[in-house]
Structure 1
Amino acid sequence: MKRAAVIIALLFASPVWAQGSGVEPPFSHQQLDDPALEAQATELMETLRCIQCQGQSIADSDAPIAGAMRSEVRQRIKEGQKPEDVRAWLIGRYGEYVSFEPAASGAGLILWFLPLLLLLAGLFMARGLFGKEKP
């Protein structure tokens, strides 16, 4: 009885179980039949960040979550949704972080205007340091 329990425990500890079901979403690597729809989907996927990789778009990532997101994008584009609507749905589901192009509202405004504010602060400090005349 102990041997059977040990064998079962070893089977469940196997790396095979850690790999998931092995079933990929339908459109994770399969392109759409219509080239125009596939172009729309690809363009959108290149502007969306992989949640797991964080530095790659879902078009470039091999992570399982990126495959699921690619599949979702292609499926929704195939159903006739506009890319803007699909982007809005993904942002609603995963948060603003999923987009490589943050919205120019709310916290996104800080990201858009922070470089300008830092430049102005640097110019102000430089004027203070170098603008004074020496007697």
Structure 2
Amino acid sequence: MKELRQSYLELVMSDSFSGENVESLPSVFAYPFTLIDVGAGGGINRRRWGKFRNLTVIGFEPDEREFKKLQDSERHRWFQVALSGAEGMFDLNVTRFQTGTSLLEPNLELIRTWNVPLSDFDIL
């Protein structure tokens, strides 16, 4: 069963994941499985994990904006905490877009000097 679970995880995390190739592993969906979601904003990806009937999710999301959207249930537990290799109090750098929120400080120099191509509306 361990090999079957590993095969499924490799498949579900790949870019070629689809409902068609998942059907080749039907027994893995009934097997109890725990997903640890670190940076759980937005909840779990239903496309990737929705077929697991016995999926338990334990998620960690320090950003209060996203944490408020997550709902505890019998099989989903969410904790408003950041995970790190050390305990203590740390500054959470909250960005406008949740995906950029981090314990790491943003590189403002990089943000300010980012070059992007420009064009006018005439090309449309």
TM-score, normalisation: structure 1: 0.22
Higher RCO, 1 or 2 (CA under 8 Å, sep at least 6)? 1
Structure with bigger strand share is 2
TM-score, normalisation: structure 2: 0.23
Structure with bigger helix share is 1
Which of the pair has more CA radius of gyration? 1
